[in-house]
């Protein structure tokens, strides 16, 4: 079965052709990073316009690169949400028109579920139950997956996503955008023991994440030590490298400690760590250490598949299509689409009037 995947939820216009859910025939990604760099973050209106200008060529290139023609595609999978509404609508509308024109089925996919499926290409098959840590610029969630297609949110972020914290701290230090790779690079020659950050404590005792306090602590450290952010082209000095390393260490520690504790309780057979922040070598090493202590394998996507791409959307879509699921033409973008269909605790939490996004 050949599935065309389409992804346009944020700042990558991507299309891929995937055979039988786990063989990539092509994966095209047009990244808008250069367009948004001057603003230090993604500008939604610019993103939608750029998706619109690029999507047709990106899809055509994916089909050509796979050595196929449009008529040989069996189904289309497209990111329905979460993401930026204008950006999502470009992909959803294109996918609907494409599938309608060819008379083939299509299915809307949750972007976060896509990240879970980013590990299916270069690892042994996932054994369930699995525990998946999905860390990106917009999301930080730990999911329990008792069987394929079932998801329970165990941990969520109460404020910033982990990648967002990397991006904001990089901005404060004048390191550039996106923050993850530049912080990781500066941290490589820094000393993570130089600045001590305390771990956020969640007052209701839930195993959630919180990164905004850490971001504030970094800002305070910059102010109190009169650290001057870098100018264009400047290389970071010792103070900034130590701060970057200490910050990275705090984020990775929080993510991996929570995953390991949860794994002790839930006994998963596979750990999954995916999303843009999973590019981080420090996170990979810490997660690998936790997995070996637990005696279970941990699967990461390759770097190409860690950040947003359409192959992971095609793979997740394939699983839905195999279960006979289809979307119809009434499908539209869903900016706040959730991934939670097993032991959903939202209503119980809502009754306690939680102030954070569920």
User: Interface residues with ligand KG4 (CB under 6 A)?
Assistant: 10, 136-138, 163-164, 166-167, 178-181, 184, 275-277, 279-280, 307-308
Residue 277: name its binding partner from ligand KG4, Zn ion, none (Cβ under 5 to 8 Å by kind). Answer: ligand KG4
Which residues are CB-contacts of 323 (< 8 A; sequence separation ≥ 6)? 149
Nearest distance from C-beta of residue 134 to ligand KG4, angstroms: 8
The item of ligand KG4, Zn ion, none sharing an interface with residue 270, based on CB under 5 to 8 Å by kind, is none
218 vs 312 by CB, closer to Zn ion: 312
Task: Select from 67-75, 82-90, 128-136, 178-186 the region that touches Zn ion (CB under 5 A).
Answer: 128-136
The answer to whether the peptide bond before residue 140 is cis (omega within 30 degrees of 0) is no
Contacts with 244 (C-beta within 8 Å, 6 or more apart), sequence order:
169, 173, 175, 183, 186, 187, 190, 236
Contact 300, 273 (CB under 8 A): yes
Range in contact with Zn ion (rule: CB under 5 A) among 130-138, 223-231, 247-255, 320-328: 130-138
Q: How far is the CB of 14 from ligand KG4 (least distance, A)?
A: 10
Distance from chain centroid for Cα 129: 21
Nearer to ligand KG4, 28 or 184 (CB): 184
| Pairing mode of beta strands 270-274, 130-135 | parallel
Q: How far is the CB of 170 from ligand KG4 (least distance, A)?
A: 7
Cβ 251 to ligand KG4 shortest distance, Å: 8
Q: Are 131 and 262 in contact (CB under 8 A)?
A: yes
Taking CB under 5 A as the rule, does residue 136 contact Zn ion?
yes
Nearest of 189, 205, 193 to residue 238 by alpha carbon: 189
CB of 234 to ligand KG4, least distance (A): 20
Q: Which residue has the tokens 């060529």?
A: 57
Which of 47, 277 has the CB closer to ligand KG4?
Answer: 277
> In angstroms, what CA-CA distances link 320 with 16, 21, 97, 162?
17, 10, 20, 29
163 binds, among ligand KG4, Zn ion, none (CB under 5 to 8 A by kind): ligand KG4
From the list 156, 271, 308, 333, which residue makes contact with Zn ion (rule: CB under 5 A)? 308
- State the pairing for strand pair 23-31/12-19: antiparallel
The minimum distance between CB 133 and Zn ion, in angstroms, equals: 13
Residues in the site for Zn ion, rule: CB under 5 A?
136, 308
């Amino acid at each position: 079965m050949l599935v065309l995947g389409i992804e346009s939820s944020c700042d990558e216009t991507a299309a891929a052709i995937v055979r039988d859910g786990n063989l990539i025939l092509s994966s095209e990604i047009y990244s808008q990073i250069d367009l948004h760099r001057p603003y230090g973050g993604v500008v939604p209106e610019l993103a939608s316009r750029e998706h619109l200008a690029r999507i047709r060529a990106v899809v055509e290139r994916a089909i050509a690169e796979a050595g196929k023609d449009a008529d040989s595609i069996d189904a289309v999978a497209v990111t329905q949400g979460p993401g930026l509404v204008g950006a999502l609508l470009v992909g959803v509308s294109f996918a609907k028109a494409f599938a309608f024109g060819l008379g083939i089925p299509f299915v809307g996919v949750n972007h976060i579920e896509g990240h879970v499926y980013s590990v299916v290409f270069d690892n042994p098959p996932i054994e369930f139950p699995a525990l998946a840590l999905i860390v990106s610029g917009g999301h930080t969630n730990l999911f329990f997956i008792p069987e394929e297609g079932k998801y329970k949110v165990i941990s969520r972020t109460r404020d910033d996503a982990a990648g967002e914290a990397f991006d904001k701290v990089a901005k404060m230090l004048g390191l550039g955008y996106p923050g993850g790779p530049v912080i990781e690079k500066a941290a490589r020659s820094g000393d993570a023991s130089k600045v001590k950050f305390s771990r956020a404590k969640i007052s209701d005792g839930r195993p959630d994440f919180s990164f905004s306090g850490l971001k504030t602590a970094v800002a305070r450290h910059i102010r109190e030590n009169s650290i001057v952010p870098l100018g264009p082209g400047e290389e970071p000095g010792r103070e900034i490298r130590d701060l970057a390393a200490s910050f990275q260490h705090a984020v990775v520690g929080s993510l991996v400690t929570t995953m390991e504790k949860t794994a002790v309780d839930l006994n998963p057979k596979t750990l999954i760590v995916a999303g843009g922040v999973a590019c981080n070598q420090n996170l990979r090493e810490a997660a690998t250490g936790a997995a070996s202590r637990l005696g279970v394998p941990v699967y990461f996507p390759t770097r190409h598949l860690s950040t947003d791409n359409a192959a992971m959307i095609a793979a997740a879509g394939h699983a839905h299509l195999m279960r006979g699921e289809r979307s119809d033409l009434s499908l539209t973008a869903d900016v706040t689409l959730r991934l939670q269909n097993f032991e959903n605790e939202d209503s119980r939490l809502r009754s306690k009037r939680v102030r954070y996004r569920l």
